[in-house]
Amino acid sequence: MPALAAVLIPLLLLPLPLAEPRYRWPVAPPQVLRRFEPPPQRWLPGHRGVDLGSSPGARVRAAGDGVVVYAQALAGRGVISILHAGGLRTTYEPVTATVRTGDRVSAGGPIGALEAGHPGCPVAACLHWGLRRGDVYLDPLALLGLGRVRLLPLQTYFRKAASSGGRRSASRSYSSGLL
Binding site for Zn ion (CB under 5 A): 51, 128
Q: State the nearest-atom distance from the C-beta of 115 to Zn ion, in Å.
A: 13
Q: State the nearest-atom distance from the C-beta of 34 to Zn ion, in Å.
A: 6
Measured from the CB atom, is 26 or 103 closer to Zn ion?
26
**Class of residue 31 by CB neighbours under 10 A (exposed 0-12, middle 13-18, buried 19+):** middle
Q: State the nearest-atom distance from the C-beta of 108 to Zn ion, in Å.
A: 22
Other beta carbons within 10 angstroms of residue 145's beta carbon come to 10
Measured from the CB atom, is 51 or 115 closer to Zn ion?
51
Measured from the CB atom, is 51 or 139 closer to Zn ion?
51
Query: Do β-strands 95-97 and 110-114 pair in parallel, antiparallel, or remain unpaired?
Result: antiparallel
Q: 81 to each of 52, 76, 100, 150, 170, how far by Cα in Å?
A: 17, 16, 10, 26, 49
Helices (H), the chain: 2-13, 154-164, 167-172
Q: State the nearest-atom distance from the C-beta of 92 to Zn ion, in Å.
A: 11
CA–CA separation, 161 vs 145, rounded Å? 25
Q: State the nearest-atom distance from the C-beta of 90 to Zn ion, in Å.
A: 14
Three-state secondary structure call for residue 170: helix
Measured from the CB atom, is 150 or 167 closer to Zn ion?
150
| Residue with the CB atom nearest Zn ion in the bound state | 128
Measured from the CB atom, is 61 or 128 closer to Zn ion?
128
